[in-house]
Chain A
Amino acid sequence: MSTQTLTIGKALNLGLRRAMEDDAKVVLMGEDIGRLGGVFRITDGLQKDFGEDRVVDTPLAEAGILGTAVGLAMRGYRPVCEIQFDGFVFPAYNQIVTQVAKIHARSRGRLAMPVVIRIPFGGGIGAVEHHSESPEAYFAHTPGLKVVAVSNPVDAYWGIQQAIAHPDPIVFLEPKRRYWDKAEVDTAATPDPLFASRLVRGGDDVTVLAYGPMVKTVLQAAEAAAEEGRSLEVVDLRTISPLDLDPVVDSVRRTGRCVVVHEAPVTLGLGAEIAARVTEACFHSLEAPVLRVGGYDTPYPPSKLEEEYLPDLDRVLDAVDRAMGF
């Protein structure tokens, strides 16, 4: 049987296992990923099966994790770095932005950087500060990095393998509050390409875009909207850099309305870039400006306030109403 029901977490675990079986050069590095199996258990059992040289519990130093990954990559390894939580990527930010991202260009292609940086991202788990951040725009803004965000077990299973096999550095964002969401995964299927967006629900009135944890929220909003006779078309962007907007443009030319949803603060978030591009490509079809729904321009709040901070079904529908009102 090639089909099994997996959570996103388990799908990632299985995908990592496959990647390690397929290529002996794949090395997992991170804090607590070995014996503990990671704080979210994404690497559970992998050190036991592949050994301490392939699944490395690192010292507590993120700059070290990414900096040594560069050297290992130069030796032909494929480091897969786990950052324990989104808010802890910043000690490694220097290595990612000034080194990992630029080495291919600087070496005129003589050095490849097949480094995967796995980051559980986003809020909604009731955590203390620095555990609920959405830092994707920092990375998408950095030339030389690719950024993807998975939303479901199927993409988690295939995506992590595709990212590891890919020759460029990839920031691989995992929707931590959805780690326990389940779906059927056919491990014998032919996967969709990594850098492609996907239409996940057809509709006529408004095109709604999301990635990572917000895909589920938007699909729920689409259900609710349908009950009120409003039809939303939903696209899971899947890839943040590069963006794959062709399907989006096709959709918006039909609906004339577009709403972008992410947890990250609205200002200069992915929504800003998408709004600009969609406006450029669809100017004559637009019935309303492209609207953005996101986090407020405040530090991520204490968890008692996160429900008010995070975009939810109501805020998506509110934006849909506003788009329809133009």
Chain B
Amino acid sequence: MSVSSATEVVDPVPGAGAPHLPRQPDLVQLLTPEGERVEHPQYSLDLDADELRDLYRDLALVRRWDVEATALQRQGELGIWASLLGQEAAQVGAGRALQPGDMAFPTYREHGVAWTRGVDPLHVISLFRGVDNGGWDPVATAFNLYTVVIGAQTLHATGYAMGLQRDGAEGAVLAFLGDGATSQGEVNEAMIWAASFSAPVVFFCQNNQYAISVPLERQSRVPLYQRAAGFGFPGVRVDGNDVLAVLAVTRAALAAAREGQGPTFVEAFTYRMGAHTTSDDPTRYRLASELEEWKLRDPIARVKAYLSRSGTADQDFFDAVEAEADELAARIRRGTTEMPDPPGTAMFDQVFAEQTPHLAAQQAAFEAYQATFEEASE
């Protein structure tokens, strides 16, 4: 299996006509929005019934987590939440393409990838609750901490890939980024470095059509996957709401990277169904009709339709997943509301590997100062 390197412009300038529903002969799809399994000349995928059901389970649980987190934010339990609603397939498909030895570098929205890496949802929640900057171990999970500064992680991913390459290690790196991020200088530098050193890194861009309020047209006049050609590596556009196609395309790209063929840019064409974050009001900048169009392409409904129709899963299975989702939601809710605040001294801990005498003195003064309040309240 190889990765396509389409360079021919197939879309009109995005923004002319119907920007969010372009005709795309080169969109890799294995499962249509109606749940029909289709073949692609370059990308095939053979999953057994268990694997298919597992993907459905991932999608359903990740969505439930996300919905619960949004509710928790509304109830004041989280400072903010960046919802992945609508992007479940892109994230689960990409995450499940990773193999032992691979490493992922997320943005701040990759809860679905976190799930596939076995990260405890509460360790992601704690970041949005303001308890820490992400509670998981980025080494043990091979899932880096979230990066809030747009695009910075693409360079880290490239450097990590260069490290794997130097070590003759097996793995490859999956670097996540958004459509808006493609405008950052650092992201372009990452792609130049990756190409120059043929680094084993896959740039996985979730094109959810918006960077907060700014539509894709402001970031690019060509479909994003075509940018790759200019950097000298393949780019491919996949239906980001099709978990099978995302899995197949990302697997192929990671395999190519592991085999020494260098980087690939994957554009997962999807849509942010929710607000940018819970602080955002998308009704100010996009039409409800757009949302309606994308509802018809729901990433989970199509898998359910396929599983049912093909007899791969029955109602008992869906009921069981539903029950598991209820349990997960309850666990997240309980874990969030019971999550203790960090001690004040936490901000001094681990600023350095070797704390400076100055900071140690400052911490001691901080503790002494805090203690005066405790004495006063006793």
Q: Write the residues of chain A forming the contact surface with B, with a CB cutoff of 8 angstroms.
A: 31-32, 34-37, 39, 57-61, 63-64, 87-88, 90-91, 126-131, 267, 296-299, 301-306, 308-309, 314-315, 318
Distance (whole angstroms) from the CB of B67 to the closest CB of chain A: 20
Q: Which of B136-154 contact A (CB under 8 A)?
A: 148-150
B190-208 vs A, CB cutoff 8 Å, 1 = contact: the mask equals 0000000000000000000
Among A127, A128, A299, A315, the one with the most B-chain Cβ atoms within 10 Å of its Cβ is A128
Give the 9 A-B CB pairs with smallest separation, nearest first.
A303-B130, A36-B213, A59-B183, A301-B347, A60-B180, A308-B344, A61-B183, A304-B130, A126-B79
Task: Say which one of B253-261, B290-298, B328-336, B362-370 lies at the interface with A.
Answer: B362-370
Q: Which residues of B contact A90 (CB under 8 A)?
A: 149
Question: What are 19 A-B pairs with beta-carbon distances under 8 A?
Answer: A31-B211, A31-B212, A35-B213, A36-B213, A36-B285, A37-B284, A39-B280, A60-B181, A60-B184, A63-B185, A127-B79, A128-B80, A129-B133, A296-B348, A296-B362, A297-B351, A297-B362, A305-B341, A308-B370
B131, B132, B185, B279: the one contacting A64 at CB < 8 Å is B185
Q: How far is the CA of A271 from the CA of B181 in the complex (A)?
A: 37
Report whether B133 and A91 are in contact in the complex, using a CB–CB cutoff of 8 Å: no
Q: Which residues of B contact A58 (CB under 8 A)?
A: 218
Q: How far is the CA of A87 from the CA of B148 in the complex (A)?
A: 10
Report whether A297 and B185 are in contact in the complex, using a CB–CB cutoff of 8 Å: no
Q: How far is the CA of A298 from the CA of B356 in the complex (A)?
A: 11
Distance (whole angstroms) from the CB of B272 to the closest CB of chain A: 14
Report whether B366 and A296 are in contact in the complex, using a CB–CB cutoff of 8 Å: yes
Q: Which residues of A contact B358 (CB under 8 A)?
A: 267, 297
Q: How far is the CA of A259 from the CA of B29 in the complex (A)?
A: 65
Q: Which residues of B contact A306 (CB under 8 A)?
A: 130
Q: How far is the CA of A309 from the CA of B130 in the complex (A)?
A: 13
Q: Which residues of A contact B279 (CB under 8 A)?
A: 39
Q: How far is the CA of A131 from the CA of B80 in the complex (A)?
A: 12
Report whether B351 and A304 are in contact in the complex, using a CB–CB cutoff of 8 Å: no
B269 on the A face (CB < 8 A): no
Q: How far is the CA of A194 from the CA of B364 in the complex (A)?
A: 40
B324-364 vs A, CB cutoff 8 Å, 1 = contact: the mask equals 00000000000000000110101110010000001100100
Main SS at interface, chain A: loop
Report whether A57 and B218 are in contact in the complex, using a CB–CB cutoff of 8 Å: yes
The count of residues in chain B whose C-beta lies closer than 8 Å to any C-beta of chain A is 43
Report whether A304 and B129 are in contact in the complex, using a CB–CB cutoff of 8 Å: yes
Q: Which residues of B contact A296 (CB under 8 A)?
A: 347-348, 362, 366
Q: How far is the CA of A267 from the CA of B213 in the complex (A)?
A: 38
B79, B346, B348: the one contacting A128 at CB < 8 Å is B79
11 new A-B contacts, CB < 8 A, other than A60-B184, A298-B351, are: A36-B212, A60-B181, A60-B211, A60-B219, A64-B185, A91-B185, A130-B148, A296-B366, A302-B130, A306-B130, A318-B369
Residue of B nearest to A305 (CB): B347
Report whether B183 and A60 are in contact in the complex, using a CB–CB cutoff of 8 Å: yes
Distance (whole angstroms) from the CB of B208 to the closest CB of chain A: 13
A-B contact count (CB 8 A): 113
Q: Which residues of B contact A315 (CB under 8 A)?
A: 369
Distance (whole angstroms) from the CB of B160 to the closest CB of chain A: 21
B321 on the A face (CB < 8 A): no
Q: Which residues of A contact B181 (CB under 8 A)?
A: 60
Distance (whole angstroms) from the CB of B22 to the closest CB of chain A: 20
Q: Write the residues of chain B forming the contact surface with A, with a CB cutoff of 8 angstroms.
A: 79-80, 108, 127-133, 148-150, 180-181, 183-186, 211-214, 218-219, 279-280, 284-285, 341-342, 344, 346-348, 351, 358-359, 362, 366, 369-370, 373
Report whether A305 and B150 are in contact in the complex, using a CB–CB cutoff of 8 Å: no
Distance (whole angstroms) from the CB of B79 to the closest CB of chain A: 4
Report whether B149 and A60 are in contact in the complex, using a CB–CB cutoff of 8 Å: no
Q: How far is the CA of A59 from the CA of B224 in the complex (A)?
A: 14
Distance (whole angstroms) from the CB of A134 to the closest CB of chain B: 15
Residue of A nearest to B284 (CB): A36
Q: How far is the CA of A32 from the CA of B180 in the complex (A)?
A: 11
Q: Which residues of A contact B341 (CB under 8 A)?
A: 304-305
Q: Which residues of A contact B346 (CB under 8 A)?
A: 301, 305
Q: Which residues of B contact A318 (CB under 8 A)?
A: 369
Report whether B218 and A130 are in contact in the complex, using a CB–CB cutoff of 8 Å: no
Q: Which residues of A contact B362 (CB under 8 A)?
A: 296-297
Residue of B nearest to A61 (CB): B183
Q: Which residues of A contact B129 (CB under 8 A)?
A: 304
Distance (whole angstroms) from the CB of B203 to the closest CB of chain A: 16
A31, A131, A298, A301: the one contacting B359 at CB < 8 Å is A298
Q: Which residues of A contact B373 (CB under 8 A)?
A: 314
Q: How far is the CA of A162 from the CA of B236 in the complex (A)?
A: 50
Residue of A nearest to B219 (CB): A59
Report whether A128 and B148 are in contact in the complex, using a CB–CB cutoff of 8 Å: yes
Q: How far is the CA of A39 from the CA of B276 in the complex (A)?
A: 11
Q: Which residues of A contact B359 (CB under 8 A)?
A: 297-298
Distance (whole angstroms) from the CB of A39 to the closest CB of chain B: 7
B130, B214, B351: the one contacting A299 at CB < 8 Å is B351
Distance (whole angstroms) from the CB of B15 to the closest CB of chain A: 13
Distance (whole angstroms) from the CB of B191 to the closest CB of chain A: 14
Q: How far is the CA of A59 from the CA of B80 in the complex (A)?
A: 24
Distance (whole angstroms) from the CB of A296 to the closest CB of chain B: 6
Q: How far is the CA of A304 from the CA of B341 in the complex (A)?
A: 7
Distance (whole angstroms) from the CB of A131 to the closest CB of chain B: 8
Report whether A305 and B344 are in contact in the complex, using a CB–CB cutoff of 8 Å: yes
Report whether A61 and B212 are in contact in the complex, using a CB–CB cutoff of 8 Å: no
Report whether A126 and B149 are in contact in the complex, using a CB–CB cutoff of 8 Å: no
Q: How far is the CA of A126 from the CA of B341 in the complex (A)?
A: 14
Q: Which residues of B contact A36 (CB under 8 A)?
A: 212-213, 284-285
Do A57 and B213 form a contact, CB below 8 Å, given A35-B285, A301-B346? yes
Distance (whole angstroms) from the CB of A81 to the closest CB of chain B: 15
Q: How far is the CA of A61 from the CA of B218 in the complex (A)?
A: 11
Q: Which residues of A contact B348 (CB under 8 A)?
A: 296, 298
Q: How far is the CA of A308 from the CA of B348 in the complex (A)?
A: 12
Do A32 and B149 form a contact, CB below 8 Å, given A127-B79, A309-B347? no
Q: Which residues of A contact B218 (CB under 8 A)?
A: 57-59
Report whether B80 and A127 are in contact in the complex, using a CB–CB cutoff of 8 Å: yes
Q: How far is the CA of A196 from the CA of B184 in the complex (A)?
A: 37
Q: Which residues of B contact A308 (CB under 8 A)?
A: 344, 347, 366, 370
